[in-house]
């Protein structure tokens, strides 16, 4: 409750506490090399991570055991994890802000989603008599280092699997804290082990060992494709890869749309979390008649954004995750300097990127997913709508799609024609609600099923004899 001064005081007090270090949490004593962990907003070293070596990964696989406790008991433990997360909000927010550059509001949303995943899968699975697959590898990204990390693990555990979790390189501290809380709540250590380290070493080892019976992955499309090839080569045929990946998300705003609402939703969709959401708006199509007016309004709204320290309650746009990301995004924008329609200032210290609006002729001008605060804008005539839908579909991604219009038939026609896992009408296109609004993409954006929906947990159980998967 951010309206409570006591809660705020506790959160701000947590800011000054030294963060715990990150390391593998395995049954056998882990070994590996130490690497610094950096605060993206300041560039300061905030701790260190021990990256698991080969022997530690091997021992993790050797010691992994499925969770044989009855489903009702597993559910009770997951609910206890949710309670412990809630009780530890101060330290969790502090880590999310310092390690991942999350604003306080983003951190609140992320904790809520993590807790929702735990309680939802507990409820979905508590009476299920089905058996687990065995060992599940869970590989997660840095942009939702608590929510996605927890959601993957909660589903795999609820189904009774042994889990080997590999968090993103950039966010090992939040992963270590989360697994410590899971162990404290009663998840046995041999059932859930954490293997901090690189994708190319630890991640690759955990997706190429025959003992692994399933992989759940969230991250970029390129990495998912690499993992898919590795699994095809090394794992038993039919081993599931549950993948949630990247997107090239578009929104159409026609001239009947309520412009103030549309502009607010465009700005939130493109710039919230510094554009580092897989659901974020990348390519906005504006109908020609109203485009000049709407573009002026977007520029005005961008001018109101505050770019800065995520701890500041007035900050709208925080840093991007690291120097590499900053240089890549800034380099991309520099290459397109002739197309810049608007850009606002960003601090020069830390890894901030100036929110930018670029002119394009359509989604085909976007070479790839730019994972930052960069919004591409194209204009269209009413007669070209079908063409736009076809060109968005032809890119092959299918994560989120937004539409602002007051024409009911248009909502119906476009929603039916567009290939996207999540379609948002007359609202922003970020965000999902565990249980009621599950999230996941099609095509190059994921293999499904949607996280936080009823089809997700069943994929983590062994197939039922005689039933097609
Ligand atoms: P990434 O693909 O670089 O890394 C994701 C994870 O994969 C990390 O833990 C990484 O260490 C690991 N990895 C890398 N190489 C590997 C390999 N060869 N074998 C096994 N594991 C390997 O992605 P990222 O930069 O951490 O995250 C951003 C990306 O994630 C964006 O593309 C974004 O769209 C996507 N994303 C998608 C969703 C969704 O729900 N669809 C949600 C969040 C993020």
Specify whether the backbone of 134 is left (phi greater than 0), alpha (psi in -120 to 50) or beta. left
Query: Is the Cβ atom of 14 under 6 angstroms away from ligand 1?
Result: no
pLDDT tens profile 38-50: 999 999 999 999 9
- Catalytic pick among 110, 124, 278, 369: 278
Bridge partner residues of 61 (DSSP):
none
Q: How far is the CA of 166 from the centre of ligand 1 (A)?
A: 11
Measuring from atom 31 of ligand 1, which residue has the nearest CA? Answer: 220
Query: Is the Cβ atom of 446 under 6 angstroms away from ligand 1?
Result: yes
**Residue 182 clears pLDDT 80, i.e. is over it:** yes
pLDDT tens profile 292-343: 999 999 999 999 999 999 888 899 999 999 999 999 999 999 999 999 999 9
Question: Does 278 participate in catalysis according to the annotation?
Answer: yes
What confidence score (pLDDT) does residue 354 get?
A: 98
**Residue 17 clears pLDDT 90, i.e. is over it:** no
269 φ, ψ (degrees, to nearest 5): -65, -35
pLDDT tens profile 439-459: 999 999 999 899 999 999 999
- Catalytic pick among 99, 124, 169, 244: 244
Query: Is the Cβ atom of 269 under 6 angstroms away from ligand 1?
Result: no
**Residue 438 clears pLDDT 90, i.e. is over it:** yes
pLDDT tens profile 347-358: 999 999 999 999
Measuring from atom 8 of ligand 1, which residue has the nearest CA? Answer: 168
What confidence score (pLDDT) does residue 163 get?
A: 99
Query: Is the Cβ atom of 169 under 6 angstroms away from ligand 1?
Result: yes
Distance CA 276, CA 17 (A): 27
What does DSSP say about strands 135-139 and 162-166: parallel, antiparallel, or unpaired? parallel
| Burial class, 434, CB count within 10 angstroms (exposed 0-12 / middle 13-18 / buried 19+) | buried
Question: Does 283 participate in catalysis according to the annotation?
Answer: no
ipTM: 0.97
pLDDT tens profile 371-387: 999 999 999 999 999 99
Distance CA 102, CA 105 (A): 8
Query: Is the Cβ atom of 422 under 6 angstroms away from ligand 1?
Result: no
pTM: 0.97
Query: Is the Cβ atom of 441 under 6 angstroms away from ligand 1?
Result: yes
Contact 275, 242 (CB under 8 A): no
pLDDT tens profile 118-150: 999 999 999 999 999 999 999 999 999 999 999
Pocket perturbation via mutation, ligand 1, pick of 100, 204, 223 by most ligand atoms within 8 A of CB: 223
Distance CA 158, CA 160 (A): 5
């Amino acid at each position: 409750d951010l309206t409570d001064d006591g809660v705020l005081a506790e959160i701000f007090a947590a800011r000054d506490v030294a963060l715990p270090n990150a390391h593998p949490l395995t049954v056998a004593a882990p070994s590996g090399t130490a690497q610094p962990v950096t605060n993206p907003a300041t560039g300061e070293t905030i701790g260190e991570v021990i990256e698991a070596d080969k022997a530690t990964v091997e021992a993790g696989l050797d010691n992994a055991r499925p969770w044989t406790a009855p489903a009702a008991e597993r559910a009770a433990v997951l609910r206890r994890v949710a309670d412990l997360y809630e009780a530890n909000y101060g330290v969790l927010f502090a880590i999310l802000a310092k390690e991942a550059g999350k604003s306080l509001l983003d951190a609140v949303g992320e904790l809520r989603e993590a807790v929702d995943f735990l309680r939802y899968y507990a409820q979905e699975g508590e009476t299920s008599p089905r058996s687990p697959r065995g060992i599940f590898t869970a590989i997660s990204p840095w942009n939702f280092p608590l929510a996605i990390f927890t959601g993957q693990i909660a589903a795999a555990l609820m189904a009774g699997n042994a889990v080997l979790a590999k968090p993103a390189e950039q966010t090992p501290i939040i992963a270590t804290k989360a697994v410590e809380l899971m162990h404290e709540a009663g998840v046995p250590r041999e059932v859930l082990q954490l293997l901090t380290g690189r994708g190319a070493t630890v991640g690759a080892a955990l997706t190429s060992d025959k003992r692994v019976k399933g992989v759940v992955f969230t991250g970029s499309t390129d990495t998912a494709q690499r993992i898919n090839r590795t699994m095809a080569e090394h794992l038993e045929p039919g081993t599931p890869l549950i993948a949630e990946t990247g997107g090239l998300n578009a929104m159409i705003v026609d001239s009947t749309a309520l412009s103030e609402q549309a502009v607010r939703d465009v700005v939130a969709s493109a710039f919230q979390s510094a554009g580092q959401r897989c659901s974020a708006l990348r390519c906005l199509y504006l109908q020609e008649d109203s485009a000049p007016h709407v573009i002026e309004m977007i520029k005005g709204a961008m001018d109101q954004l505050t770019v800065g320290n995520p701890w500041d309650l007035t900050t709208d746009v925080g840093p991007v995750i690291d120097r590499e990301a900053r240089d890549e995004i800034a380099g991309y924008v520099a290459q397109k300097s002739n197309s810049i329609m608007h850009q606002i200032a960003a601090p020069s210290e830390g890894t901030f990127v100036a929110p930018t609006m670029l002119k394009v002729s359509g989604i085909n001008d976007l070479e790839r997913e730019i994972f930052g605060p960069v919004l591409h804008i194209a204009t269209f005539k009413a007669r070209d709508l079908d063409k736009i839908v076809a060109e968005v579909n032809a890119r092959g991604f299918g994560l989120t799609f937004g539409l602002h219009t007051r024409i009911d038939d248009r909502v119906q026609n476009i929603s039916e024609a567009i290939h996207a896992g999540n379609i948002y009408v007359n609202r922003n296109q970020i965000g999902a609600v565990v249980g009621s609004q599950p999230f996941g993409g099609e095509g190059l954006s994921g293999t499904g099923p949607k996280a936080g929906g009823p089809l997700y947990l069943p994929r983590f159980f062994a197939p039922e004899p005689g039933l097609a998967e």
